[in-house]
Amino acid sequence: MKFRKILDEINPYVPGKSTEEIQNKYNIESIIKLASNENPYGCSKEVQKCFTNIDIEIYPDNDCSKLRKLLSKKYNIEEDELIFGGGSVEIISMIAQILIEQNDEVITCTPSFSSYYSATKLMNGKLIEVQLKDNVFDLQGIKNKITDRTKLIYIANPNNPTGTIITEDEQRNFIEGIPQNIMVVLDEAYYEFVTDKNYPESINFLKQHDNIIILRTFSKAYGLAGLRIGYGVASKKIIEQLNKVRNPFNVSTLAQDAAHMALSDVDFLKMVVNNNNQVLEYMYKELDKLNISYISSQANFIMINVKTSGAKFAEKLLERGFIVRPGFPLMDNYIRVSIGTIEQMRQFIKVLAILINEERD
């Protein structure tokens, strides 16, 4: 059997370790998972109503019609300016499929979300990686790398793993300053968490620019990661092309219903976002007290500089029941910690203080 050659260069996605895996390995009862930027408050109670009233013997609505209507109203966009995916990660792949021919160039920053790299490679595209500048997406650095072969630029805003944002002015200058035949993906998986007033409302950019695709997800602030549903917003022309590569019935009935319900529970979303901000403030205060450096975050996670191998440090945290994420390119000394509940983070800070002191001794 001869598989595609490019597969030699692609590694399977490595998810954050599961709670069960760590329970079994270390024989610890209580595990706190802070590795995959999930929602520590669960999801809206409204969503749970969907679970009892669902016809699973028939295929889902291929067009996600109900949800499409609701989102188009919410954002004041046309219904055919939306596409849905099994998580936004599926749309990241679909975008690569409609644009990248062999050796076309795709630019993004490093470190950022790993699916940009694998989606590009799988299409035999050439990935150009620009280092973050001061932990922020380096838009000028990306611009400098544009050539005649550049097809696509992926921007995570906020960026994963740094939690940093680019501002509305920066985004506008960038999009206006590049050739309009290059597609710009604005991946806003953590959009709902952002408090910085300078963060762009990217949907407004759609009126002037038809070379952008905005990605959002129900996995994070809405707490539906296990159901797999995200969406993209773009011009009708782009959505038409994306629909050609989309698998039939790619979003389950339950995911569609749950997302619809989740959007209607504004109070749950407010609670999640407020709590996230309060707990982030708590983290900043405690980390400052411990003299540990970190990157201020606009998302539901924080990068902490442990000043030693992040991988080894994460292993020590595992032994004490905390799953975090090390191993980001160019940031070996960092661990990414998802923002849990205040109680979870109090426990985390206690253990962090002990481990950091051991390192310093």
Ligand X SMILES: Cc1ncc(COP(=O)(O)O)c(C=O)c1O
Binding site residues, ligand X, CB under 6 A? 37, 87-89, 113, 156, 160, 187, 189, 217, 219, 225, 230
Rounded to a whole number of angstroms, the minimum distance from the CB of residue 311 to ligand X is 19
Residue 256 or residue 356: which is nearer to ligand X going by CB? 256
Residue 125 or residue 230: which is nearer to ligand X going by CB? 230
Residue 16 or residue 141: which is nearer to ligand X going by CB? 16
What is d(CA 134, CA 165) in angstroms, rounded to the nearest whole number? 11
* Length, in residues, of the chain: 361
Q: Where are the alpha helices (DSSP H) in the chain?
A: 19-26, 45-48, 65-75, 88-99, 115-122, 139-144, 168-176, 236-245, 253-264, 266-289, 310-319, 342-360
Residue 44 or residue 159: which is nearer to ligand X going by CB? 159
Residue 125 or residue 223: which is nearer to ligand X going by CB? 223
Contacts of 345 (CB under 8 A, 6+ apart): 279, 282, 283, 339
Residue 105 or residue 187: which is nearer to ligand X going by CB? 187
Q: Name the DSSP class of 87.
A: S
Residue 85 or residue 356: which is nearer to ligand X going by CB? 85
Rounded to a whole number of angstroms, the minimum distance from the CB of residue 37 to ligand X is 5
Rounded to a whole number of angstroms, the minimum distance from the CB of residue 288 to ligand X is 26
Kindly state the tokens that stand for 192.
């709902």
In the chain the first and final C-alpha atoms are separated, in Å, by: 55
What is d(CA 222, CA 133) in angstroms, rounded to the nearest whole number? 30
Nearest to 38 by CA among 20, 16, 22: 16
Residue 164 or residue 219: which is nearer to ligand X going by CB? 219
Kindly state the tokens that stand for 162.
């740094």
Nearest to 204 by CA among 179, 230, 172: 172
Nearest 5°: CA angle at 258, between 56 and 116?
100
Residue 34 or residue 356: which is nearer to ligand X going by CB? 34
Transcribe 159-190 into DSSP letters: -TTT-----HHHHHHHHHTS-TTSEEEEE-TT
Per-residue b/e over 290-329, b at no fewer than 16 CB within 10 Å? eebebbebbbbbbbbebeeebeebbebbbebbbbbbbbbe
Rounded to a whole number of angstroms, the minimum distance from the CB of residue 97 to ligand X is 16
Rounded to a whole number of angstroms, the minimum distance from the CB of residue 190 to ligand X is 7
Rounded to a whole number of angstroms, the minimum distance from the CB of residue 162 to ligand X is 11
Rounded to a whole number of angstroms, the minimum distance from the CB of residue 113 to ligand X is 4
Rounded to a whole number of angstroms, the minimum distance from the CB of residue 103 to ligand X is 25
Rounded to a whole number of angstroms, the minimum distance from the CB of residue 228 to ligand X is 7
Rounded to a whole number of angstroms, the minimum distance from the CB of residue 255 to ligand X is 11
* Closest residue to ligand X in the complex (CB): 87
* Residue 360 half-sphere exposure toward CB, CA atoms < 13 A: 10
Residue 68 or residue 220: which is nearer to ligand X going by CB? 220
Quickly count: other Cβ atoms within 10 Å of residue 235's Cβ.
16
